Chain A
């Protein structure tokens, strides 16, 4: 058991965890942030994607201790001040989710994807970059549509701000 501290969704948190505790377990069990899901045991499905220091990470592939001192954002922390993030909004408007189980990981991966590619994101790139996220419900059609819509909106907003 060790005490682990990190910043999660802008708040300083700490908790006791065994050395073998994964980041996803720490988030779910210690912090009660159950929006981050576990869909596999081989780091293949992406249901557990969060941001660690601004980058998308599968939280089942990282020990909680490795994230000590880092800034972690989970799906619960994405909507700033109650306002939905454009990616969340796009998933809602484009029916980018059905059962919702893959959705937190999809949204966190998509946010990172848009950050890296901006408005230049195209369908082929989105499909390739979603390689690490499995959805069994949507056939990805509306997930791809949602991500492109969000990229468009965020890219457009970026340009307007520049």
Chain B
């Protein structure tokens, strides 16, 4: 592997700028003549707009203009799209309501953007926004998904009768029902997956700059995928043709899904810049982030698992109602369908699975993919039900799981996915050993002596990552391909630039991608620069989400490196008068195997560019491109074990121990992988114990719109986390990687809740398991 190659635990190259205050985020960008924007947002969950009076706002000193949806429509700016078409089981297309970047006619959630105010300073823009008089006629609203599909619920979009977007199914209900009918035991549960607000620490921001002299737009924005932003803003929102629009996502302070989507604000800032002929910057304050960033989860489900008399699973049947919010965000339809129901087999060998999913509009912020996206919901459902089944059947939860594990690969599940590799027993063993599972009874007894209820909970998760392959997702309704691109440029002095369509917003690509190059060529990582996040520099890319940057993004680099190496070897063979097949690349040199003939890497590079003496017919230069589209998803999997102590007097839960054993396939940098697991587990423990988005059911007001109301996990809420890995390589990409970004958030919530319900002896507990909820569950 070499000191800096694949598998090396090295500190990150990009750290220097962040620890010295030299990181450059969108809000740090300044363009000459730049002005500031504030959005006028709906204070109502549901209302008609009867008119907008801008006169008082326009009179505020410093205010340059106030622009509304009418003007935006007149300028031909398009409506926001959902990029994944889902067909209902009756064959009808999904009922997608119109989402204007600035609302016209009606507002549909608290925070819906109505107008933009551009002013000299942010304070003036804020003052102006407060003075815009919108004549609202309030309408009844609904925020809860079950209430939204009930008879007589307020209608949110005209073309979605009963607020239903689609009623979709996956799997064969006939065989599932037959298996249920002949089951020896059925475990049935109603399970709620609580609504979350992502809360990347950097609030979203956009700086739109229209240059009238060049008729060209630049947008700096907090995006996980600037190329997709450019694509949709060009192809669907009619902001500008792609060649006249540059999107730059500089340093981005965390995303977790919430910065995948192209929101109204980027579109409106670009458009407003053209209208006002000044660069326009908008930065969300935290309240806006709470109100308007796409939220996550919010499922209400019923699950039935059928077992035969040997405790083997014979069928799983799931019915889910998913809250989509007021509008369909970019991937909102895929999250509760193809990213969810396709994982309902878990790690288990199940012949019959059927899932029915209905999605519904409500007067709440749009809901879309948040770290894990669909897979945490599937995992929570399956793993809570497995633990419950073990208790009902009176068997050890670990052994019930083990008995039902898939042990042969590839394995075709009845819900589309073909698992390509794994060893679920190995991660279960690793976690049980790390957690001293067999010593739990003694620890429980000891805790009881102190008046504490101690519990242990397991979760064996699987996810589908490396989101790709293009043809497969296309056949399921995706509007885009999900390959990734890479370009490897070897400079004349031998240094290397890698241009990638992946985007790093905390994942450490500048280090890990360079490690791959170091591994292949034997050069130091300091001679390798990673270029990303700018549509003027990188031709096209699909961005970072779904734990895809390693399995898909790095694989593209790997293929481009194959091509670079092939050409480099030809040049070396020519110069060293050797056979191309005998050239090996090692330690920054090209060597003729079995001889002492060598050519330093930089000399080969120089030769490629001087072009004085190249093999006949060879073009000068050394630069190769690849677009990598894998054959399958990857399937990271693992086992998490959580041990808690509950104080029966207060209901306070203390997470005593958290053990994670993950199989991520090939690991480039273990330190970075561990960090990803820590962060994911923290979000999962946050979901299980602390976090929950709440709307007032009567007024539709967001009750959790600040850090005083929405409980973020803080350092003293969390334990240290024990992370280890087992390894089976993914055969679906050249590096054997599976992805590690989401596992923690997927696997941990059921482990925590299983531990608490084990401790308190009551299974009737929903997330977040606050002290109040736990106390109530203990005391009935």
Contact = CB atoms under 8 A, between A and B. Distances in A.
B26 to A, nearest CB: 11
B254 A45 contact: no
B720 interface: yes
Given A34-B28, A127-B716, A143-B715, A100 B253 contact: yes
Nearest to A40: B286
A79 B21 CA distance: 10
Interface in B688-709: 706-708
Given A18-B123, A95-B11, A98-B508, A103 B672 contact: no
Given A45-B707, A123-B720, A134-B201, A139 B21 contact: no
Interface in B670-695: 671-672, 674-675, 678-683
Nearest to B203: A39
B623 interface: no
Contacts of A141: 675, 678, 682, 718, 720-721
B199 A136 contact: yes
A99 B200 contact: yes
Interface in A30-86: 32-42, 44-45, 47, 74-76, 78-79, 84
Interface residues of B, number: 57
B27 interface: yes
Contacts of B683: 136, 139
Interface magnitude class on chain A:
35 or more
A37 B202 contact: yes
B714 A36 contact: no
B103 interface: no
Given A130-B715, A131-B714, A75 B679 contact: no
A88 B22 CA distance: 13
Interface in B1-37: 11-12, 14-25, 27-28, 30
A102 B21 contact: no
Contacts of A126: 715
Contacts of A91: 15, 19
Interface in B60-115: none
Contact of A42 (B254, B506, B682, B708): B708
Contacts, number: 176
Contacts of B714: 130-131, 134, 140
A135 B22 CA distance: 18
Nearest to A35: B21
Contacts of B24: 34
Contact of B20 (A18, A20, A35, A135): A35
Contact of B707 (A40, A98, A102): A40
Most buried by A among B203, B252, B683: B203
A76 B707 CA distance: 27
B19 A139 contact: no
A103 B716 contact: no
A35 B15 CA distance: 13
Given A45-B201, A141-B678, A144-B715, A95 B254 contact: no
Contact of B202 (A39, A44, A95, A130): A39
A63 to B, nearest CB: 13
Nearest to A42: B706
Contacts of A144: 715, 720
Contacts of A92: 11-12, 15-16, 19
A97 interface: yes
Contacts of A44: 706-708
Given A45-B707, A136-B201, A99 B253 contact: yes
Q: Is the interface of A mostly helix, strand, loop or mixed?
A: loop
Contact of A33 (B15, B21, B505, B680): B21
Contacts of B19: 75, 84, 88, 91-92, 97, 100, 103, 107
A3 interface: no
B707 A42 contact: yes
Contacts of B27: 34, 38
A97 B675 CA distance: 9
B679 A139 contact: yes
A128 interface: yes
Interface string B701-731: 0000011100011111010110000000000
B252 A99 contact: yes
A129 B92 CA distance: 56
A126 B720 CA distance: 12
A114 to B, nearest CB: 15
A47 B706 CA distance: 15
30 contacts: A32-B30, A35-B22, A35-B23, A37-B253, A38-B27, A41-B706, A42-B706, A42-B708, A84-B20, A98-B675, A100-B18, A101-B23, A101-B201, A103-B18, A103-B19, A104-B18, A126-B715, A127-B716, A127-B718, A128-B716, A131-B715, A136-B200, A136-B683, A137-B675, A139-B678, A139-B682, A139-B683, A139-B718, A140-B678, A141-B675
> Which are the 3 A-B pairs with shortest beta-carbon distances?
A35-B21, A101-B253, A100-B18
Interface of A: 18, 20, 28, 32-42, 44-45, 47, 74-76, 78-79, 84, 88, 91-93, 95, 97-104, 107, 123, 126-128, 130-131, 133-144
Given A75-B21, A95-B11, A104-B18, 18 more contacts: A34-B21, A37-B202, A44-B707, A45-B201, A45-B286, A92-B11, A92-B12, A95-B12, A100-B18, A101-B202, A123-B720, A127-B716, A127-B718, A135-B201, A140-B682, A140-B714, A141-B678, A141-B720
Interface of B: 11-12, 14-25, 27-28, 30, 123, 199-203, 251-254, 256, 285-287, 505-508, 671-672, 674-675, 678-683, 706-708, 712-716, 718, 720-721, 744
